[in-house]
């Protein structure tokens, strides 16, 4: 139950995740999955087919090799069989052997004749080591007269005596040719043995035996002429399982040790797979009708396993590469397919943020093209409605701004006149003159400079006059203004900071006898021009700060905190959500007011006109 619940939860999570994907990603994912599944299926088919093909190739090659080796050996020994029978059937040979006796006056002629006939074959016939004529068990002639005269061939276990009266060649088992005077060149040979008779006589008396020695090591050269794999071992065995020849000459004339040898000996030819020592062995064999020997090839199928592993790795690499290509191609195709939809979505977003001048290019007559046409028509109608209704709202907002600015001027003038009155009462004529001059400059700045935006340098000069007038009425006031020189020519709304400085003075001087410190800092931070006005007044509690924020955002013109609200309203009207006003305070430690405005709207007058143009576009 827990497993099913976890599985359902995972499925739901994946379903929700899929629902939230972009159409482009959905198409890419589906296309990639389909191609991946197809590649995996094709990879498995390719792998299975390749392994099966290699296996069949190994089996066919082994079968063909057995047949070819058997054919080569049969062809050779059939030739030896025919040759030796023809020699043994020659009347002159039987006559020479019959009358071969050292006491016979013609012995020398017979001996020379036999040498001339038999001596040529070891020199001209491949693999033949020697041709020996045996009479009464002993050699009477050979290639080089080096066979021991006391060696009795008839008593050797390998020597085959045929008592029948047929002309037949018998092939011995492998044996050492240890019947030479010089035994340093002993080799394993196979002897082709055929009786010498006068086949014209009715008695068909055997006068001798012709022996052709064939070198086994030389016969093994047949293997070198074949395309034999490293994983294959070749044996030529007789009917008793004794090794006549193989790729390892050290095993010649030894008994072949295989658990399945009897199965090979009991059948003429065949092929089967046996498991041995944890690996599979492919066995192919065939029996020669000439010699009765069996040609046996054993193939270690570990090669097939290695090939399978390589094919598996190759297939995996191809599939993985195909998957990456499919992912790239699917991403490319899905992007091409959804390009028009994405463009339409982006245009909709532009409309949502106030850009009503967008147009979607109509490049086709499909569903997306028709939707684009309807979208363009909708935007045109929407722009028409906004042109009719939004302009009225803008004019109302501008009237509110001018009303807010008008509230600043009488308020400040009233405070300044009260200050001059206090100076007159105290007889501070010099201060009155200085204050009136500064007030004149301030009124000139406020009343006669009609620009809505001024340079930060001019605004700071105005603040200095304002603070200097305030200092004249209260010597406990200490102030500092820090302005980054790079920002002096940047533009800002006129009289934006004065209400905040006035608030700082009120809170910094109230209910205290120590110095009031006002710090004004203007600098660039992360592409925003930051205005910071800090006082060392009593600060506010979190509850009081919340109450100030509430009053600041009220639209009632008679609400308290008119200075903060005025600044807040002007920032939002001029810079929308990009302009920020933040209050940082801690009870007993003073208050800081931060204003952040994007620098791109304050760089110079041209930038300001760009902002005004954007405002017009919004309308």
**Which residues fall within 8 angstroms of residue 448, CB to CB, at 6 or more apart?**
none
pLDDT, greater one: 116 or 364: 116
Task: Categorize the per-residue pLDDT at 192 as very low, low, confident or very high, splitting at 50, 70 and 90.
Answer: very high
Tell me the mean pLDDT in the region 230-258: 79
Q: Which of 581, 430, 418, 370 is nearest to 496 (CA)?
A: 581
Tell me the mean pLDDT in the region 593-599: 92
Q: Using CA atoms, how far apart are residues 138 and 118, in angstroms rounded to an integer?
A: 16
- The residue assigned the tokens 């008839």 is 154
pLDDT, greater one: 446 or 211: 211
Tell me the mean pLDDT in the region 42-55: 80
- The tens digit of pLDDT for each residue in 405-421 reads 555 556 667 767 777 77
Q: Which of 226-230, 304-308, 610-614 has the lowest mean pLDDT?
A: 610-614
Helix axes 91-98, 23-88, angle to 10 degrees: 60
3-state secondary structure of 22: coil
CB of 184 within 8 A of CB of 209?
A: no
DSSP conformation letters of 200-216: TSSS--EEEEEEEEEEH
- Whether pLDDT at 105 is above 60: yes
pLDDT of residue 322: 79
Domain architecture of the chain: domains with CATH: 89-219 (3.30.450.20), 398-618 (3.30.565.10)
pLDDT, greater one: 256 or 382: 256
- Whether pLDDT at 250 is above 80: no
- Whether pLDDT at 23 is above 90: no
Q: Which of 139, 248, 117, 129 is nearest to 192 (CA)?
A: 129
Q: Which of 182-191, 484-493, 515-524 has the lowest mean pLDDT?
A: 182-191
Q: Using CA atoms, how far apart are residues 243 and 271, in angstroms rounded to an integer?
A: 19
pLDDT of residue 397: 55
Q: Where are the beta strands (DSSP E) in 95-178?
A: 128-135, 138-141, 170-171, 175-176
- Whether pLDDT at 611 is above 60: no
Q: Using CA atoms, how far apart are residues 437 and 431, in angstroms rounded to an integer?
A: 10
Q: Which of 53-62, 250-259, 551-560, 603-612 has the lowest mean pLDDT?
A: 603-612
Q: Using CA atoms, how far apart are residues 415 and 428, in angstroms rounded to an integer?
A: 17
- Whether pLDDT at 193 is above 90: yes
Using alpha carbons, list the distances in angstroms from residue 439 to 125, 419, 420.
137, 11, 10
The percent helix, strand, coil of the chain (3-state, each to 5) is 55, 20, 25
Range among 58-62, 155-159, 287-291, 300-304 with highest mean pLDDT value: 155-159
- The residue assigned the tokens 């002897």 is 191
- The tens digit of pLDDT for each residue in 389-402 reads 656 655 655 655 56
pLDDT of residue 73: 83
Mean pLDDT in the chain? Answer: 80
Cα dihedral 445, 450, 455, 458 in deg (nearest 10): -10
The token duo for 289 is 């009708």
pLDDT of residue 76: 86
The token duo for 492 is 């800002």
Q: Which of 170-184, 442-456, 601-615 has the lowest mean pLDDT?
A: 601-615
Task: Categorize the per-residue pLDDT at 4 as very low, low, confident or very high, splitting at 50, 70 and 90.
Answer: low
pLDDT, greater one: 540 or 185: 540
pLDDT of residue 53: 81
Q: Which of 597, 577, 457 is nearest to 524 (CA)?
A: 597
Task: Categorize the per-residue pLDDT at 606 as very low, low, confident or very high, splitting at 50, 70 and 90.
Answer: very low
Tell me the mean pLDDT in the region 373-383: 79
- Whether pLDDT at 130 is above 60: yes
Using alpha carbons, list the distances in angstroms from residue 84 to 81, 126, 330, 556.
5, 14, 78, 135
3-state secondary structure of 313: helix
- The tens digit of pLDDT for each residue in 417-469 reads 777 777 787 777 887 888 888 888 877 777 666 677 889 999 999 888 888 87
pLDDT of residue 163: 76
Beta strand 170-171 with 175-176 is unpaired
Alpha helices in 353-428 (DSSP H): 367-426
Tell me the mean pLDDT in the region 350-357: 75
pTM of structure: 0.48
pLDDT of residue 218: 67
- With b for 16 or more beta-carbon neighbours within 10 A and e for fewer, the 506-530 pattern comes to ebbbeeeeeebbbbbbbeeeeebbb
Tell me the mean pLDDT in the region 296-325: 80
Tell me the mean pLDDT in the region 374-400: 69
pLDDT of residue 597: 92
pLDDT of residue 251: 75
- Whether pLDDT at 609 is above 60: no
Tell me the mean pLDDT in the region 154-174: 86
């Amino acid at each position: 139950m827990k497993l099913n619940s976890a599985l359902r939860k995972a499925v739901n999570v994946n379903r929700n995740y899929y629902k939230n994907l972009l159409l482009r990603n959905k198409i890419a994912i589906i296309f990639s999955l389909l191609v991946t599944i197809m590649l995996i299926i094709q990879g498995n088919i390719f792998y299975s087919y390749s392994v099966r093909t290699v296996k069949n190739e190994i089996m066919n090659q082994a079968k063909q090799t057995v047949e070819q080796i058997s054919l080569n050996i049969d062809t050779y020994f059939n030739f030896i069989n025919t040759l030796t029978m023809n020699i043994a059937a020659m009347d002159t040979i039987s006559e020479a052997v019959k009358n071969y006796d050292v006491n016979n006056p013609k012995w020398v002629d017979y001996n020379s004749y036999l040498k001339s006939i038999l001596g040529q074959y070891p020199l001209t016939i491949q693999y033949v080591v020697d041709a020996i004529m045996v009479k009464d068990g002993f050699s009477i002639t050979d290639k080089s007269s080096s066979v021991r005269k006391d060696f009795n061939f008839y008593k050797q276990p390998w020597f085959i005596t045929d008592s029948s009266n047929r002309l037949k060649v018998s092939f011995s088992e492998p044996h050492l040719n240890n019947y030479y005077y010089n035994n340093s060149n002993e080799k394993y040979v196979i002897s082709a043995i055929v009786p010498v008779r006068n086949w014209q006589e009715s008695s068909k008396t055997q006068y001798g035996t012709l022996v052709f020695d064939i070198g086994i090591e030389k016969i093994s050269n047949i293997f070198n002429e074949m395309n034999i794999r490293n994983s294959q071992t070749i044996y030529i065995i007789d009917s008793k399982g004794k090794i006549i020849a193989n790729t390892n000459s050290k095993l010649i004339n030894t008994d072949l040790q295989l658990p399945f040898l009897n199965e090979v000996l009991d059948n003429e030819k065949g092929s089967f797979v046996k498991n041995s020592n944890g690996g599979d062995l492919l066995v192919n064999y065939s029996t020669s009708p000439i010699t009765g020997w069996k040609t046996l090839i054993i193939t270690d199928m570990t090669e097939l396993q290695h090939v399978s592993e390589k094919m598996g790795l190759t297939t995996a690499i191809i599939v993985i590469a195909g998957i990456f290509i499919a992912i790239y191609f699917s991403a490319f195709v899905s992007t091409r397919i959804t390009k028009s939809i994405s463009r339409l979505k982006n245009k909709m977003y532009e409309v949502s943020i106030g850009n009503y001048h967008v147009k979607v290019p109509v490049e086709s007559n499909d569903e997306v093209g028709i939707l684009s046409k309807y979208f363009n028509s909708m935007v045109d109608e929407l722009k028409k409605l906004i042109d009719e209704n939004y302009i009225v709202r803008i004019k109302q907002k501008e009237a509110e701004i001018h009303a807010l600015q008008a509230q600043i001027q009488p308020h400040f003038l009233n405070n300044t006149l009260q200050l001059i009155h206090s100076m007159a009462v105290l007889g501070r004529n010099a201060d009155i003159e200085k204050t009136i001059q500064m007030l004149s400059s301030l009124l000139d700045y406020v009343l006669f400079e009609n620009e809505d935006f001024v340079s930060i340098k001019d605004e700071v000069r105005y603040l200095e006059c304002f603070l200097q007038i305030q200092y004249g009425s209260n010597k406990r006031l200490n102030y500092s203004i820090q302005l980054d020189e790079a920002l002096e020519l940047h533009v800002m709304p006129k009289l934006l900071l004065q209400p905040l400085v006035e608030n700082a003075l009120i809170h910094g001087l109230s209910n205290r006898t120590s110095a009031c410190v006002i710090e004004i800092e203007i600098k660039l931070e992360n592409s925003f021009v930051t205005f910071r006005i800090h006082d060392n007044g009593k600060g506010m509690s979190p509850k009081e700060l919340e109450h100030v924020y509430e009053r600041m955002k009220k639209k009632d013109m008679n609400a308290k905190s008119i200075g903060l609200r005025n600044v807040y309203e002007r920032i939002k009207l001029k810079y929308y959500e990009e302009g920020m006003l933040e209050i940082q305070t801690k009870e007993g430690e003073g208050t800081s007011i931060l204003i952040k405005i994007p620098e791109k709207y304050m760089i110079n007058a041209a930038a300001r006109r760009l902002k005004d143009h954007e405002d017009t576009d919004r309308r």
